[in-house]
């Protein structure tokens, strides 16, 4: 199994541009989530999904959209990039019925810089 | 708002010494987890302790949980240079079963 994969690894955007961060998992996990990590802030939950067709907001959802059309994929869209969205983004997945509060499997991250 | 806060923020020790990191949280939890993050990498799950458990071991790791004090500790015994990483606690709340909230982390440096 590849586990949780994320693309791209690095991205530089200009203010106002849009882009999609890709996340895929091959473990048939129902629960998937996106976090951002900023220095001194730990990880903050952006959006999460408990299954295909179901998404919900986390702590810091503004400026981001998600969709979950398949169990495997959970893309994160930046609608109009802002410098405040410069961060490292992590996707995670989990298997159990209590998915969000059980062991999370993380991808390697995407480092995004917005100029 | 952050649920867990780790203490200390940074810790430097010599190989062979024990490292203790603490985590405090604010609300009732279903479980508490510890993760490790090597520089530039994703987080790796270390151990999960449920709210009805007081202590758990995994190899050189020992985790304790005191729900009356809303705190947990992670002990790494006989540390190695390879243990150098950031360590995060994460809490799964009773009222928010779909969310895991992370603390700000402890940066551990183990010198050979």
Whether B4 shows a pLDDT value over 80: the answer reads: no
Neighbour-count burial for A3-15, b at 16+ CB within 10 Å, e otherwise: ebebeeeebebee
d(CA B83, CA B49): 21
| B72-90 pLDDT tens trace | 999 999 999 999 999 999 9
pLDDT band at B1 (very low <50, low <70, confident <90, very high): very low
Q: What mean pLDDT, rounded, does chain A reach?
A: 92
pLDDT at residue B112, rounded to an integer: 92
CB atoms within 10 A of CB A16: 10
| A65-75 pLDDT tens trace | 999 999 999 99
Whether B95 shows a pLDDT value over 60: the answer reads: no
d(CA A79, CA A110): 17
Torsion of CA A105, B65, B68, B6, to 10 degrees: -70
DSSP SS3 for A82: coil
Which carries the bigger pLDDT value, residue B79 or residue A59?
Answer: B79
Q: With contacts defined as CB-CB under 8 Å, which chain B residues touch A98?
A: 30, 92, 97
pLDDT at residue B75, rounded to an integer: 98
Whether A49 shows a pLDDT value over 70: the answer reads: yes
Choose the closest CB to A101 out of B4, B30, B102: B30
Q: With contacts defined as CB-CB under 8 Å, which chain B residues touch A92?
A: 43
pLDDT band at A102 (very low <50, low <70, confident <90, very high): confident
Whether B35 shows a pLDDT value over 90: the answer reads: yes
pLDDT band at B3 (very low <50, low <70, confident <90, very high): low
Q: With contacts defined as CB-CB under 8 Å, which chain A residues touch B43?
A: 43, 90, 92, 104, 106
pLDDT at residue A72, rounded to an integer: 96
Q: Min CA distance, A81 vs chain B (Å)?
A: 23
d(CA B13, CA B24): 22
Length of chain A: 115
| Cα nearest neighbour of A31 on chain B | B98
* Residue A39: partners with Cβ closer than 8 Å, 6 or more residues away: none
Choose the closest CB to A109 out of B4, B42, B88: B42
Which carries the bigger pLDDT value, residue B28 or residue B86?
Answer: B86
Q: With contacts defined as CB-CB under 8 Å, which chain B residues touch A105?
A: 45
**Mean pLDDT score, B8-16:** 96
């Amino acid at each position: 199994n590849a586990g949780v994969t994320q693309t791209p690894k690095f991205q530089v955007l200009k203010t106002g541009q849009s882009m999609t961060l890709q996340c895929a998992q091959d473990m048939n996990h129902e629960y998937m989530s996106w976090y951002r990590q900023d220095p001194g802030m730990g990880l903050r939950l952006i959006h999460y999904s408990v299954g295909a067709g179901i998404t919900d907001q986390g702590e810091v959802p503004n400026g981001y959209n998600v969709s979950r059309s398949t169990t495997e994929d959970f893309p994160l869209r930046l609608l109009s990039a802002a410098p405040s969205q410069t961060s490292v983004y992590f996707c995670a997945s989990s298997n159990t019925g209590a998915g969000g509060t059980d062991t999370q499997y993380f991808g390697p991250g995407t480092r995004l810089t917005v100029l | 708002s952050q649920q867990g806060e780790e203490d200390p923020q940074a810790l430097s020790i010599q190989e062979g010494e024990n490292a203790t990191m603490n985590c405090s949280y604010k609300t009732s939890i279903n479980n508490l987890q510890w993760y490790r993050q090597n520089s530039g990498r994703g987080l790796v799950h270390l151990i999960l302790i449920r709210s009805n458990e007081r202590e758990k071991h995994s190899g050189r790791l020992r985790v304790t949980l005191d729900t009356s004090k809303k705190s947990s500790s992670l002990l790494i015994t006989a540390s190695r240079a390879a243990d150098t990483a950031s360590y995060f606690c994460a809490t799964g709340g009773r009222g928010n079963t779909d969310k895991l909230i992370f603390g700000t982390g402890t940066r551990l440096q183990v010198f050979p």
